[in-house]
Amino acid sequence: MIVLIPAYEPGDTLVELVARLAHHTVVLVDDGSGPAYAPIFARARALGAELVTLDRNSGKGHALKAGFAHIARRHPGRGVVCADSDGQHRPADIEAVARHAAASGAAMVLGVRRFTGRVPVRSRLGNGVTRVAFRLVTGLAVTDTQTGLRGYPARMLPWLARVPGDRFEYEQRLLLEAAREGLPVAEVEIATVYLGHNESSHFRPVRDSLRVYRPLLAFALSSLLAFAVDTAVLLTLTALTGDLLPSAVAARLISATVNYAVNRTYVFGARTGKPARYAALAAAVLAANLVLLETLASATGSVAAAKLLTEALLFLGGFLVQRLVVFPARKPAPVRDGAGEVQFGAVLMRADR
């Protein structure tokens, strides 16, 4: 087993973790921590760790990819388990993830926390929101989308190098891409450990949250673009013709074409969409749109207000149908658990305590 640990300005907990993993191959990536932290990395190297040093801080994703490249070059054919440097991942849990990565056949094994006990509010809330959003976007139920403890078999190293992202969003993109490609994802339950209210974390709440959630906001932005096109065309044609229903039909046809193209290319990442299914969905949405628009316009006396209310009501339903029917993810390959039973998707296994 190779344990990969990216570190930026680490403390003594990094040396303690390396000492407890001394019977394994440990690869550290110094993500531009600077001369002040050289003694800490030197102590870790004295314990047997291999060190990759980056000239400047480039982000966790970049550091992970530098570590993957080192492992592929120096240790070909060996899998890897990624762990954080702050002591929040116990050696027993790291080893449990490694065992399942080697035996399960999964493309990715996540060490998932149950968030029980004393957990910082921002961590509990952030993971809960991301978990719900991730399932809505991908259809894959992942217990802990933000875990840094992840195991990959050797065959996945080239794939890991191809997924874009240099900072905290990289690990989220790995999950999104795995869901899009139907890669089997397994889970191992681990302890929830936070030291000093997670003060050692270099996660920047505003900037890095935007990076992490950016892929999950793509659908909302696509819908907003389609809404803007639809509304502009509707109001223009209504002003020119004075006839609401034909104007609504023309506006919907134009905005639906824009929406399909953007969703296929940028949102769901589908190699091939289902145009006939999208057309059927668009027809159903158009019918509902016309009924709601006519009803609400009469009730409110405002086409613009009616349009806002109508789009809000149709947004969630349209998204779910597109994800499940128009741009379905590939069916995950089967994963065999320790008992030899075939399972699909995210498979939860409990680590030995």
Give mean pLDDT, residues 99-126.
75
The SS3 assignment for 158 reads helix
CA 94, CA 84: separation in Å to the nearest integer? 10
Tokens of 48: 């047997």
Q: Please state whether beta strands 80-82 and 2-7 pair in parallel, antiparallel, or not at all (unpaired).
A: parallel
Percent of the chain with pLDDT over 90: 39
The SS3 assignment for 101 reads helix
The answer on pLDDT for 270 being more than 60 is no
Q: What is the pLDDT of residues 215-260, one digit of tens each?
A: 557 766 777 788 889 889 999 999 999 888 889 889 888 988 887 8
Q: What is the pLDDT of residues 198-220, one digit of tens each?
A: 444 444 544 545 555 665 577 66
Q: What is the model's pLDDT at position 122?
A: 52
- Read off the amino acid at residue 23: H
The answer on pLDDT for 166 being more than 70 is yes
Give mean pLDDT, residues 131-152.
82
Average model confidence (pLDDT) across the chain:
80
Q: What is the model's pLDDT at position 302?
A: 86
Overall fold of domain 2-214+344-350: Spore Coat Polysaccharide Biosynthesis Protein SpsA; Chain A (3.90.550)
Is the separation of the CB atoms in 18 and 28 below 8 Å? yes
Regarding predicted confidence, which is higher, 59 or 132? Answer: 59
Q: Of the given ranges (3-7, 45-49, 215-219), which has the lowest mean pLDDT?
A: 215-219
Query: Partners of 2 in the beta sheet?
Result: 25, 80
Q: What is the model's pLDDT at position 353?
A: 35
Tokens of 117: 């006990």
Q: What is the model's pLDDT at position 150?
A: 97
Q: What is the model's pLDDT at position 212?
A: 52
Query: For the whole model, what pTM was predicted?
Result: 0.65
* Distances from the Cα of 168 to the Cα of 252, 317, 329, angstroms: 38, 30, 24
Domain limits of the chain? Answer: 2-214+344-350, 216-326
Regarding predicted confidence, which is higher, 12 or 258? Answer: 12
Q: What is the model's pLDDT at position 80?
A: 97
